Amino acid sequence: MNKKLGSNKNLPVKKENQILSACLYILFAILLVFLCINKISGDDDFFWHLASGRYIVENKTIPATDVFSYTTAGQRWIPFEWGWDVTTYLIFNAAGYAGIYILKSILILGAFFLFFKILEKFKITAGLRIFFLLLLLFGVMFRFTIRPHLISYFFFALLLYIILSYKYFDRSNHKILYYIPAIFLVWANFHMGVIDGIVVYSIFAFSELLSYLFPGKLSANDSAKPDKKDLIRIFIILACSVLALLINPANVTTYAYVYSNINLESLKDINEWKSPFDSVFSSNAFVIIYKIYLGLAVFALYYSYKKKDVFIFIVSLAFALYSLKAVRFITDYIYLASVFIFTGMYYLVNNLKNNRVKNIINYHPAGKVVLMMIMIFLLINIPNDVFFNEYLGYHRIWGAGADENTLPVQMFSFAKSIKLNETGEHPFNHYSIGGLFLWNFPNSKDFIDSRYINDKVYSDYDIIDYQKPGFENKIKDYNIDYFMYYVDILLQSPQILKQIAIDYLNRNNSDWKLIYWDDKSFIYVKNTPEFQPIISKYEYKYINPYYFLYQKQIIESALANDRETVIKEVRRKKSEDPNGFIINRIIEQYKIK
């Protein structure tokens, strides 16, 4: 067995306070569960994944072309996360949101348990273990959303646990490596984070080769060296793992498709695909924490230098550089580099010359008490949303299900109630609600959604959305017959209504009729015979946020000439949305009862 990191041979034998340690572990587990309980907010990817899973289950086939958007119908679409889609759909169908949150909790608790076991193998004391896990938690908690990357976070931890257990602690237990191809087989059908995984294992394999070729130069004297048989086994497992990646519905085409997708021009407009050093993130808490982690990488690099460990060096440096490409990759870096950062920090602590300081850091109960107080503070302030929303400036809502304040749940409830999708065939929907559209209307196709599978459609969407030259022709070309708009910044920036197509729809109110609105969403239908039954029953002729903001004379004229209709519309909207900001301002300004 290898000599363990940071030996305590120069320290007097001490015992952990088992009660305090147990309290730490319990509090940390509860904290993880609390952080798993938040509403789906401002991100509707969850819903198109459900819609995809439903389609696969009901049709018993995995599509190879787009079946969800009429603008790209029949074009290539590979649902490379189909395993996640089917799993979450089946769970949601059987247990609703409760089942989904249980799955989320299992994956996150499982990942952190594996990190806990890794740190335990390195003989890191209980207090420091929880301290390091809290640092990791602060780095990744912003990505605790119900999306398939959760699978990758679990498999990152599992892969590291296997590699590190074998490399640093028990090379005789080579059977543990045999699980790796099976992990890649499952992973390849759930999330493309598997590519990061195979990169990590490849770095491990080639670092082992370098240790074999250059003993003493690229491996520390206190670590076991691989022999020829070890290398053969490791590279056979690498080959099997690469083959496992190809066992998916589209084989190698999947990875070519993913590569083409991540190079779409449209992604440049999406925040999560921008560099973490983009000015838009200058004050974002999660990016600031990431930058701190970049600085902390010096501990991993220092440790790799002292231990002559090329594996730690390459993984830490490679994923740090990789994370510079886009915000969505920063969590991958933190997950993969954190263990090496923490072992490097612990190595420095245990090489301090002052044994008293070492004992205080490693064993003094005061540190555990402080950690417990921090976690209790978090447990109190997470359910009331203070911690995220006030301290970190990050929108997060305690609870389960869809957050009606950031997703247009009411609009879709109304649209379903009048079977809007059965009357209209060619909607124009805001891209951020495409997933909700697909989930709520299983037999209808949207204009666009957050899969971003076609640059031309996204460009046309942008032309229509912002009334750019030629937008009216685009509306005709796509034969759009109704608009479902989500304007999440309406109350903060009401001028947005003059910039987007809602301005056009109101200026052409003889051709387009408003049938639904609230503080963040709108439905307009084309004035055609097919829509007449809906228009006659639900049209807002006068009570309209656009008119209230920019054409008050329409409301004022109606109050003088068609007061009965105005009052009817006000009462209807007030009954639908009693706490609506805009409707209550209209009532207040015009003193309508």
Mapped to the 3 state alphabet, what secondary structure does 246-295 carry? CCCCCCCHHHHHHHHHCCCHHHHHCHHHCCCCCHHHCCCHHHHHHHHHHH
- Name the burial class of residue 559, with classes exposed (0-12), middle (13-18) and buried (19+) by CB atoms within 10 angstroms of its CB: middle
Flag whether pLDDT at 13 surpasses 70. Answer: no
User: pLDDT digit string (tens) for 520-579?
Assistant: 999 999 999 999 999 999 999 999 999 999 999 999 999 999 999 999 999 999 999 999
Phi, psi of 6 (to 5 degrees): 60, 50
Pairing of strands 482-486, 521-526: antiparallel
**What's the rounded Cα separation, in Å, for the pair 516 and 513?**
9
User: pLDDT digit string (tens) for 73-127?
Assistant: 999 999 999 999 999 999 999 999 999 999 999 999 999 999 999 999 999 999 9
User: pLDDT digit string (tens) for 503-515?
Assistant: 999 999 999 999 9
Question: Which of residues 416 and 282 earns the better pLDDT score?
Answer: 416
- CA 349 to each of CA 307, 345, 353: distance values in angstroms, whole numbers, following the listed order: 15, 6, 9
Listed in sequence order, the residues at least 6 apart from 205 whose beta carbon sits closer than 8 Å to its beta carbon are 234, 235, 238
Q: What local confidence, expressed as pLDDT, does residue 264 receive?
A: 83
- CA 330 to each of CA 32, 41, 84, 143, 199: distance values in angstroms, whole numbers, following the listed order: 20, 21, 22, 10, 16
Q: Under a CB-based contact definition with an 8 Å cutoff, are residues 451 and 77 in contact?
A: yes
Flag whether pLDDT at 9 surpasses 70. Answer: no
Neighbours of 505 (CB within 10 A): 22
Across the beta sheet with 427-429, the strand order is 427-429, 482-486, 521-526, 512-517
**What's the rounded Cα separation, in Å, for the pair 393 and 389?**
5
Token pair recorded at residue 283: 């004050």
Token pair recorded at residue 549: 């903001």
Q: What local confidence, expressed as pLDDT, does residue 536 receive?
A: 96
Q: Under a CB-based contact definition with an 8 Å cutoff, are residues 311 and 358 in contact?
A: no
Percent of the chain residues topping a pLDDT of 70: 96
Q: Under a CB-based contact definition with an 8 Å cutoff, are residues 31 and 376 in contact?
A: no
Contacts 24+ apart (CB under 8 A), 440-445: 440/412, 440/415, 440/416, 441/415, 441/416, 442/51, 442/54, 442/55, 445/67, 445/68, 445/69, 445/70, 445/73
Hey, which residues does 428 pair with through a beta bridge?
483
Averaged pLDDT, 67-71: 96
First to last CA, the chain: 82
Q: What local confidence, expressed as pLDDT, does residue 263 receive?
A: 84
- In the chain, the largest separation of any two C-alpha atoms, in whole Å, equals 93
Averaged pLDDT, 412-419: 96
Question: Which of residues 41 and 477 earns the better pLDDT score?
Answer: 477
